[in-house]
Amino acid sequence: MKRSVSCGGLTSSACSVPGLSPPTAHPHAEQPRTLAERERQAIIDTLQRTSGRLAEAARRLGISRTTLWRRLKAYGLRPGNGRVGSASRA
């Protein structure tokens, strides 16, 4: 008989991974709901922390610069002067 323990929606094996803890909700902040929304927010946060340096942001995210550029385009984002904003549609 195999037993499984729930840990914030994760199985016990995922909870036992060092450094991995169940997601915590900020009481006043609405959390992104989908994987795409969480990924988009992670990219924005990382670019802000790296002052818009794409190579450093890609390294911290664990993706290539090319992949980061593709994701920026897919999410309609454009980096500029350390800030990330929505691409203007003209």
**Which ranges of 1-90 would DSSP assign to H, the alpha helix?**
12-15, 35-49, 54-61, 65-74
Q: What domains appear along the chain, each with residue ranges and CATH number? A: 32-81 (1.10.10.60)
Rounded distance between C-alpha atoms, residue 39 and residue 68, angstroms: 11
Rounded distance between C-alpha atoms, residue 38 and residue 17, angstroms: 21
pTM of the model: 0.57
Tokens of 86: 């929505």
Written as tens digits, the pLDDT of the chain (90 aa) is 444 444 444 444 444 444 444 455 555 567 668 999 999 999 999 999 999 999 999 999 999 999 999 999 999 998 764 456 655 444
Rounded distance between C-alpha atoms, residue 18 and residue 20, angstroms: 6
DSSP line for 64-76: -HHHHHHHHHHTT
